[in-house]
Amino acid sequence: MDRAEKKRALYPGGRPTPEAKAIHRRFVAGPLPRVLPIASVVEVRGRQSGQAISVPLAIVRYRRSWYLVSMFGEQSNWVKNVRASDGEAVLIHGRRRPVRLVEIPVPDRAPIIKCYLFFATGARPHMQVGWRDPLSAFKSVAALYPVFRVDHR
């Protein structure tokens, strides 16, 4: 099994296995979201439990704004939770701060997703396009991958 297959195996059907959840817990508790430029943790209220849920995500800068991309698309729980909370979340990226996550319209997503895949190497095995593909390839799949701009409150 090659490296990409191993990464895909951690998320069958877009859901994390117990091993992936253990990796997430170590990431959230560790120093990486505070020191790595693309590492972040988003805390959002669960739409069913009401409890704060922490999700490690890659964050990318594009045209003077920060963005989060769902590598698993619409089925990601964090995306559903963000939408249910009207974008209210807490971001740990360098420091902890309240933010509003604003969903980007589909026609504007392609260049952001391309930038995301350039930096977020761990997301590459899970997406239908390659980071070297032309922008037109990203436009054809942009509707599959929600993108959120991080607005500081």
pLDDT, one tens digit for every residue, the chain (153 residues): 677 677 777 777 767 788 877 876 776 766 766 666 788 999 999 998 889 989 899 999 999 999 999 998 998 899 999 999 999 999 998 889 999 999 999 999 999 999 999 998 888 888 889 999 999 999 999 999 999 999 987
Token look-up 């095995």 returns: 125
Contact of 143 with 106, CB cutoff 8 Å: yes
pTM reported for the whole predicted model:
0.85
